[in-house]
Structure 1
Amino acid sequence: MTTRAVHPTRAAQQPQQQPGTRQPPGPGSGQRILRAVALAATVPYLALKTAWLAGSRIGIPDGSVLLDPEPFLMAANAVTVAMDACVILLVLLLTRPWGMRVPAWLLTVPVFVATGLLTPIATGFPGQLLIRLLGFGADPAVKAAREPFLDPWVFNVVYTGFAIQGLALAGLFVPYARERWGRRWQGVLGARLPSSTGVVAAAAAAAGLVVAAVYFYWALGGTAGLGAERAGAYWPETAVVSAVHGMCALAAAAGALLLARGGALRARWPLGLTWIGAGAALTWGTWMLAVSAGPQLDGGEGPTAAALLIYAGQMITGSLAAAVLTRFLISRREG
């Protein structure tokens, strides 16, 4: 019986697998579907924004201020294009083997921001669609009387894409986080966090309760703290937006308190509440303050001082709750 000799150079080129090691498993069929869905959901927004930056007027009606954009609007468009493009990078990080080697902060911070920005859209936009289907949408005559801004189909296409992005990213991030950091939320909360963290959690809860109360008041039709134009534009559709922001502020407040107090509650529930609520409160409060500092694109009145205080309260609530969340995760790592 003869054996074939192996050329030494060719043998050296063959990959050698170390005993006891294995390659990280690739994404399953469900992850591949979610990856394709998330990537496809970024296309409408990126295409529209890129077209507008290139001078196109698709989706922009006659008389809209967007036909002659100011430098602030051009900069805002460029920033939001970059933000949506980051979703593509996040999707790849969550579904490729090399994503497990990315430093934790480099992944969790963008995912935290994405969670905060997309959660109110993923929950509020379907609610607005339901309101319209039930016949409680804004009066067409009132809409026609407003200054033209964008064609209605633009909002439907863009916000549908955002909602799909949020759901797909959640479906990808949860199994990724379970595999990489699952031990952090296994079991119960355990011991109470340091008293200094408890003070931060109490401050987050107090600020969140005030913010939530005001948003619920506006959702129910209250007009105090609103300008005359915004108060006159109240419809159930706008009430949904206020209610969602109020619920997110409550989630941040409740989650921060639960994480700081410890106890026998399963850790994943307060952790999820704080992650979602703090992200939404921090990102949307910051975004609304930043937009308020620029020119009012719709030609209407700017936000009142009371509204600016609520936006600042959102940002403060989210920041404090995020600090409690960070301290909790550090304590689990140390444990």
Structure 2
Amino acid sequence: MVERWDRIGRTAAYGAAASLVPYLVIKVSWVVGSLLGLLPVGRGFSLGGWLVLNTLTIGMAAAGITLGLALVRPWGMRIPGRLVGFVAWVGSGFLVSILPFLLVSALIHSASGSSGGSGSANGDAAMPGWEAVLLQCSFVGTGIGLAMALPAYLWRRWPHALRRPQRPRASPGPLWPAVTGTATGLAWLYWAAGGPLGIAHRDERPADWHVLVGVSACWALAACTAVPALIRNRSARLPYPLLLAVAWLGSGSMFAWSGWRLPATIYVAVAQPSDVSYPENVAVAVTLHVIAVVTGAGIIRALIRGDRGRRASVPDRGGQAAERV
């Protein structure tokens, strides 16, 4: 059974890498086309800002392709674990939010009879439909591929990380990430439900905005529910890998999406483009994004500290405590 799932994970890793190739090609074409004057600049962006944004996403796509290959190729086992873990954590955080967002948004637009919001979401309302489909397929394919490939990679490299510890940690670790993450998640959930406090432009909240904020809120609350059970090792009713996955994905979602939206919010507040504005009050939005980034980092740090403690207590073949971290 283990060998079968390992083969599936390896195939999924190649699929995840291949799925991002269309996204990478489209983003490169946007940059080259904008520089040559053949393609329009995205709505609300100057040429420089448009190039910077898409250059960043090109780098993210290249990192995603490299990550997919690293999860299956032999050289991936030689890359420093922290680097692989960080890239996988951030990438997973982006994808677990964007996948349900795309699904729910498609259902909403289908029910209302309007066209999808993919074009505006990417900054260019005139984006052809086939490009929007390719971009969405890239996200979906990469998300599904990494979801199957990453556990197989973790099992090959760090099999102990997916096992429940036999005894509670001597030092359970701080619970402040669960508190701050819960507060942030509840604030986002309040906005997603239509709450007016902290909203500067009440008429500029499209359905897509409500969906994305709601998805972010759900992942934040889910992660902060799993964290106390993990660091206290008190929940035997739920599978340990499931709790670990929820904390991993939820913290990655907070860190990745708020880390992405924080500079974008500041840019809109400073540049004040005439055709782009965010519904949220800038000060409130920036505060929540900063808290979310810090909380996501705090959760993953608590998980890593717990994993180090477990590795130090795992006996090796000679009966000695494993010293290597």
TM-score calculated relative to the size of structure 1:
0.78
Superposition pairs of residues 219-258 of structure 1, within 5 angstroms = 219-228=192-201, 231-258=202-229
Which residue matches 2:159?
A: 182
Q: Is contact 1:259-1:324 (8 Å) kept?
A: no
Which residue matches 1:151?
A: 127
Equivalent position to 1:263, from 216, 220, 234: 234
Q: Using the alignment, how far apart are the partners of 2:47 and 2:148 within structure 1?
A: 38
Whether 1:75 aligns to 2:46 is: no
Q: How far 1:133 sits from its partner (Å)?
A: 2.5
Q: How far 1:190 sits from its partner (Å)?
A: 2.9
Q: Using the alignment, how far apart are the partners of 1:122 and 1:139 within structure 2?
A: 14
Q: Is contact 1:274-1:321 (8 Å) kept?
A: yes
Percent identity reads 25
Which residue matches 1:131?
A: 108
Q: Using the alignment, how far apart are the partners of 2:65 and 2:152 within structure 1?
A: 18
Q: Using the alignment, how far apart are the partners of 2:88 and 2:205 within structure 1?
A: 33
Q: Is contact 2:178-2:228 (8 Å) kept?
A: yes
**What number of residue pairs does the alignment pair up?**
299
Distance 1:101-1:27 versus aligned 2 partners, 3 A rule: farther
Q: Secondary structure at the match of 2:33?
A: coil
Equivalent position to 1:211, from 184, 191, 210: 184
Q: How far 1:189 sits from its partner (Å)?
A: 6.2
The letter for the 1-side match of 2:69 is: L
Q: Secondary structure at the match of 2:221?
A: helix
Q: Secondary structure at the match of 2:197?
A: coil
- In the TM superposition, what whole-angstrom CA distance separates every residue of 1:186-209 from its partner, at most 9, and x where no partner exists? 2356304515x2xx32x1111111
Distance 1:298-1:43 versus aligned 2 partners, 3 A rule: farther
The letter for the 2-side match of 1:270 is: L
The letter for the 2-side match of 1:274 is: A
Distance 1:253-1:137 versus aligned 2 partners, 3 A rule: farther
Superposition pairs of residues 234-313 of structure 1, within 5 angstroms = 234-265=205-236, 266-294=239-267, 295=271, 299-302=275-278, 303-304=280-281, 305-313=283-291
Superposition pairs of residues 99-178 of structure 1, within 5 angstroms = 99-135=76-112, 149-151=125-127, 153=129, 154-178=131-155
Whether 1:327 aligns to 2:305 is: yes
Q: Using the alignment, how far apart are the partners of 1:150 and 1:215 within structure 2?
A: 30
Q: How far 1:179 sits from its partner (Å)?
A: 2.1
Q: Secondary structure at the match of 1:190?
A: coil
Q: How far 1:31 sits from its partner (Å)?
A: 4.4
Q: How far 1:118 sits from its partner (Å)?
A: 1.3
Equivalent position to 2:296, from 311, 318, 333: 318
Distance 1:211-1:185 versus aligned 2 partners, 3 A rule: same
Q: Using the alignment, how far apart are the partners of 2:65 and 2:59 within structure 1?
A: 10
- The structure whose Rg is larger is 1
Q: How far 1:264 sits from its partner (Å)?
A: 4.8
Q: Using the alignment, how far apart are the partners of 2:64 and 2:293 within structure 1?
A: 23
Q: Is contact 1:189-1:263 (8 Å) kept?
A: no
Q: Using the alignment, how far apart are the partners of 1:268 and 1:29 within structure 2?
A: 20
Q: How far 1:32 sits from its partner (Å)?
A: 5.6
Structure 1 unpaired stretches of 5+: 1-24
Distance 1:206-1:298 versus aligned 2 partners, 3 A rule: farther
Q: Is contact 2:17-2:69 (8 Å) kept?
A: no
Structure 2 unpaired stretches of 5+: 314-325
Distance 1:136-1:279 versus aligned 2 partners, 3 A rule: farther
